[in-house]
Structure 1
């Protein structure tokens, strides 16, 4: 489970170089990473290794409980960022969440340092030390913190689900609710029941040691998928658009790549196969714009003036006439650079390329 969540965090780290780093993206990655840390710390093998390395019996317990509390905090922050709203309100809620759970983590560490827990317990620490001073309070605190986050998340998701949400967002909310329900009933409730049973003199340790761990893993997997699915869906849609634009630009690139002034260094297939379509599009647009800038010397401003005048005469608006003028000069420049033009060009002193490249590529495709 930890390996899966780390792989998920690694996938989320990949982003096009032109994509800005958003708080939602950071929160999503952080949540996946912290979830992986939780499952890593809670593994008996890890607990035994940490206890042995530090020489402190059960020191892995506050590490595990602190990571669970940090995960609860990150889930709330992720939902706050996902829900959106005024930036100041989001920042205030995030700060409050961090303060509350930061205080909880400090209390967990402090209570463990005060407790007498010399007998190492790798799988049943919650119930074994349920009646031990300070350990009892530490266990109750982390369970309360996790249960609180589950209640908050469930309430917000239920309220949000009543709104008009569709598509992957609705699917994601349902997955989150299903995962939270499984976590609340299968992990938190069983842990609380086992601990309370110990307080009352009964032994229901099997709930804590056998039922809770797989329920936590499955619940975490389900609601993690609920958070990530809409993000991956929107990213996939953006990549599909980038792929469509990349293919649409191929006629334009074919027209300019063989021009003498165009850049000759074209990425090879083994440099491109692993890249996202958005990254490929970025490289292709950069090459095309570089080629078009170098074609400025072959552009004829007389062609632009005549095209602009004709467009205005037809009743075209100023912006459309300017675009038509720019497009005509570029196409004429490609012809002249290829040796197909008539007479010397009269290049403009300043020529800024503002036309949409896909629109230009469609025109080039029609002409050919």
Structure 2
């Protein structure tokens, strides 16, 4: 079981990444080709790692009664994974010429689909009577048809991992944030296959062809498999988790401001549920919260008072706040004061007085930054002062 653990953990990470994408795939009903490609590659990758575990190889042989049946199964899945990696990166990146992307995708699918079929045919034509769980490549390197199957798999796999690594690395120079980080981790994971696993296996097989024994390289290649697979899994997960985490954080940050503008009449009640980062509708909830806040700020904009904003900003600067922070505090105070005035005049059913600055004043800071200071002491003082004045 100890030898299986790293393969099961690595496969579990890929499966987890697939499950994180599954709700979005269900919502689109499979119409999103990019999303479908991502789920397919993660699912195939997890299958490869689960099947590579020694206990899984033994179970498959016993279940089917075919000696070494796990080998062509793994080769086919890895070849499919390699081709799907190229297709995924091509469609993920996109580009101005969509027709070229589709042509390249179809060509890649055709080439690697053919390779998968040839692997199955060559294994069926060959003869592998001795079960070899760990050194199949070198043991059968000179066996008719099986040697050709091994060579075909290595060439297809090396070409795909090199291409995918190169595409990811080049694209990473054009983007920023978690997408860049994810692409560079992906490029490293694919490069470990191309620069580590493939050369080691190819050298060991080539040595057998020339009458030498370099089987120790097979063990080195096996050691490269799981770390590179983990990097690929992490590379796919980083942009996904980064985006979801950013949405969850912003949703949480806007909470105080959403509650502060709630007294402004009009519109539906806000959604203030504490949503976990894996909630599939989080982006929709975030949009609803931002819309809710913006609509209510527009409703009470006639009560914006530039004098309050200038006063609070000057006080914040005097207390040592940075200019950006002072502006956010001032906007929060102005909005809080406007909410109090709107609530009072709505109860009195009076016409809102258009102040001297009302038509020209607007908030300048980001809503999430404003929300951070809604409950600050200076904003609470402004709210109390305005409330006292309107009740007097």
TM-score normalised by the chain length of structure 2? 0.65
Deviation at 1:140, TM superposition (A): 0.9
Distance in structure 2 (CA, Å) of the matches to 1:177 and 1:107: 28
CA offsets 1:163-218 (integer angstroms, 9 cap, x no match): 5544434433432332233222321111111111111111111211x211220211
**Residue 53 of structure 1, aligned match among 63, 66, 75:** 63
**Secondary structure, counterpart of 2:55 in structure 1:** helix
CA offsets 1:60-112 (integer angstroms, 9 cap, x no match): 11111011011101211121122211332222221111111111101111111
TM-score normalised by the chain length of structure 1? 0.69
- What's 1:31 paired with? 41
Correspondence 1:222-233 to 2 at 5 A: 222-233=231-242
- What's 2:328 paired with? none
Deviation at 1:240, TM superposition (A): 3.5
**Residue 103 of structure 2, aligned match among 80, 92, 102:** 92
**Secondary structure, counterpart of 2:130 in structure 1:** coil
Deviation at 1:15, TM superposition (A): 4.7
Q: Work out whether 1:220 is the aligned partner of 2:229.
A: yes
- What's 1:123 paired with? 134
Q: Is the deviation greater in 98-107 or in 220-229? A: 220-229
Q: Is the deviation greater in 228-237 or in 188-197? A: 228-237
Q: Work out whether 1:278 is the aligned partner of 2:287.
A: no
- What's 2:79 paired with? 69
Report if the CA contact (8 A) 2:138-2:204 is conserved. Answer: yes
- What's 2:17 paired with? 8
Deviation at 1:340, TM superposition (A): 5.1
Report if the CA contact (8 A) 2:251-2:286 is conserved. Answer: yes
Distance in structure 1 (CA, Å) of the matches to 2:276 and 2:113: 44
Correspondence 1:149-160 to 2 at 5 A: 149-160=160-171
**Secondary structure, counterpart of 1:201 in structure 2:** coil
- What's 2:122 paired with? 111
Distance in structure 2 (CA, Å) of the matches to 1:71 and 1:136: 21
CA RMSD of aligned residues (A): 4.1
Distance 1:150 1:16, change over 3 A: closer
